[in-house]
């Protein structure tokens, strides 16, 4: 008896990005232009270093954007939970009764 994983509902709103991931989306193209030869892992390391050394006001700006995205997601999720698609998704993910 293995664990069953809940299927992801394709109709559900996408989860919001964190402040770091929003920062990463902004910085990744800049870093790739400056250092075209870097691997994906090395680009991620550079982004992580830039985030850790970023000034607080810059981080606050990204945290504000992440908070707004989360609030928007929560509103979209509330609206989605009122739809028939959500009810069907919940029903499909119910554990099956064993005989």
The C-alpha atoms of residue 42 and residue 10 are separated, in whole angstroms, by 32
pLDDT higher than threshold 60 for residue 1 = no
The pLDDT-based confidence of 42 (bands split at 50, 70, 90) is very high
pLDDT digits (tens, 9 = 90+) for 44-79: 999 999 999 999 999 999 999 999 999 999 999 999
Q: How much is the pTM?
A: 0.81
Q: Could you give the dihedral angle defined by the CA atoms of residues 85, 88, 90 and 96, in that order, rounded to the nearest 10 degrees?
A: -160
Distance CA 95, CA 7 (A): 12
Please name each of the domains of the chain with its CATH number. 19-91 (1.10.30)
Contact 32, 38 (CB under 8 A): yes
CA atoms within 13 A on the CB side of 87: 3
């Amino acid at each position: 008896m293995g664990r069953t994983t809940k299927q992801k509902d394709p109709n559900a709103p996408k989860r919001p990005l964190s402040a770091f991931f929003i920062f990463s989306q902004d910085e990744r193209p800049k870093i790739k232009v400056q250092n075209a030869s870097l691997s994906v892992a090395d680009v991620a390391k550079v982004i992580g270093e830039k985030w850790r050394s970023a000034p607080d006001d810059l981080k606050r700006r990204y945290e504000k954007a992440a908070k707004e995205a989360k609030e928007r997601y929560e509103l979209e999720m509330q609206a989605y939970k009122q739809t028939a698609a959500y009810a069907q998704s919940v029903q499909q993910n119910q554990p099956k009764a064993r005989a």
